[in-house]
Structure 1
Amino acid sequence: MIDDLVRRAQAGEADAFGQILAHHYDQIYRTAYKWCGDKADAEDVTQDVCVKLGSAIGSFDGRARFSSWLYRVVLNSVRDLQRARARRVRHVDALAQVSAHQTPPDQEASATASQLWKAVRTLPENQRDAVLLVYAEELSHAAAARIMACREATVSWYVHEARKTLKGLL
């Protein structure tokens, strides 16, 4: 179904493109939120991805699953946001802030989880991406490797290194 929608959207059919956005909007937002950790930033990234997708969908060649390709588009938009913010605001890690709008059911567990994800966002880019794909998105190492355009063993190594670093941080 999604392959047919993609082909139709690539051919310029607006209805097919709208269906793709409707089907994947929540995935785009959730992924952006997990990477950004901030509701407003996630909304900005989601909007940016929806706009970019209009022209980027033509570059989708079908070698990977559409959802894997879409993850890459979202990650690139998150990185664009991070680079833009870094240029404007020095010495401030605005992406590591936890959204003030969260109302956790269990304050202690939520504080621990927030602290953990805040620490994850400070990891080097490849380690952070591997951890978020494997643990936050619950993807296999093989699926994460396809998204990150590297070998499965490399993803395993990134996760291993991230665990060692996080153990030291926490």
Structure 2
Amino acid sequence: MPGTHSTDTPGALTPDDIDDLARRAQDGDRDALEDLLAAVRPRALNVCRGVLPYSSDAEDACQEALINIAAKIGSWGGRGRFTTWMHVVAVNSARSTYRRMKNQAVAADPQAGGPLADRPDPRTTSVIAGTRLDLLEAMETLEREHPQYVEPLLLRDVYGLPYDEIARLLSLPLGTVKAQIHHGRKLARPMLSGEA
């Protein structure tokens, strides 16, 4: 029920409170779903900002993430924290927004020149990697060739989730998760340093 928590501000909800809201939302409680979306929105927005440098793009991705969270809440298995599951949904929404923007930019005018052509485009420059070869481009390549490494790698190296939480979220043994992250790093490193 709304207002039964120790405080009515969404940011003050504990992880247990959020998990409880998610369970109630899964059971069809519309008020719980609204409270849940309000509680996780700042976290989802931060995830999207980690991928998309422009605020308006991150806002679009966050909105898509919240829609996906509401639509797919039944797929949260309850094994790990709801917020961990939400991270994956938000990452996928941000990546989807990035791909859509990239396709629109290429379709608009791929040969456009002019004074801005020599400057690095923030949409294709990775803030994390600090190179012209974008992290998302590396993840797209890795996903085509070795899809099993992408999600664990993003969850660990971009969003900083602990190994054991990733293992629970992905329903994999801890050793497998660590191995996938290690191999994913080895494959992604040359792409991020411009050697690929």
What's the TM-score, normalizing by structure 1? Answer: 0.70
The yes-or-no answer on 1:133 pairing with 2:149 is no
Equivalent residue runs for 1:74-89 within 5 Å: 74-89=90-105
The yes-or-no answer on 1:65 pairing with 2:87 is no
CA distance in 2, matches of 1:149, 1:75: 18
Q: What does the per-residue CA deviation read over 1:29-61, in whole Å, with 9 as the maximum and x for residues that have no partner?
A: 111111222211110011112222222112222
Residue of structure 2 equivalent to 1:122:
137
The letter for the 2-side match of 1:31 is V
Q: Report the CA distance shift for 1:167/1:117 in structure 2 as closer, same or farther (over 3 A).
A: closer
In structure 1, runs of 5+ residues without a counterpart are: 99-111
In structure 2, runs of 5+ residues without a counterpart are: 1-16, 112-120, 144-148
Of 2, 7, 25, which residue of structure 1 is paired with 2:41? 25
3-state DSSP of counterpart to 1:121: helix
- Aligned Cα RMSD in Å? 3.3
3-state DSSP of counterpart to 2:73: helix
Q: What does the per-residue CA deviation read over 1:104-129, in whole Å, with 9 as the maximum and x for residues that have no partner?
A: xxxxxxxx868359642331335775
Q: CA deviation at 1:141?
A: 3.8
The letter for the 2-side match of 1:137 is Y
CA distance in 2, matches of 1:144, 1:160: 19
The letter for the 2-side match of 1:65 is R
3-state DSSP of counterpart to 2:79: coil
Q: CA deviation at 1:165?
A: 3.4
Of 182, 188, 195, which residue of structure 2 is paired with 1:162? 188
Q: What does the per-residue CA deviation read over 1:61-98, in whole Å, with 9 as the maximum and x for residues that have no partner?
A: 22343122112211221232233334433259773258
Residue of structure 1 equivalent to 2:123:
95
Contact 2:49–2:58 at 8 Å: present in 1 too?
yes
More contact order relative to length (CA 8 Å, sep ≥ 6) = 1
Q: Which moved more, 1:51-60 or 1:79-88?
A: 79-88
CA distance in 2, matches of 1:117, 1:10: 42
The letter for the 1-side match of 2:69 is L
Identical-pair percentage: 28
Contact 1:60–1:69 at 8 Å: present in 2 too?
yes
Equivalent residue runs for 1:34-45 within 5 Å: 34-45=50-61
Aligned residues: 156
CA distance in 1, matches of 2:189, 2:31: 44
Q: Report the CA distance shift for 1:87/1:137 in structure 2 as closer, same or farther (over 3 A).
A: closer
What's the TM-score, normalizing by structure 2? Answer: 0.62
The letter for the 2-side match of 1:156 is H
Higher helix share: 1
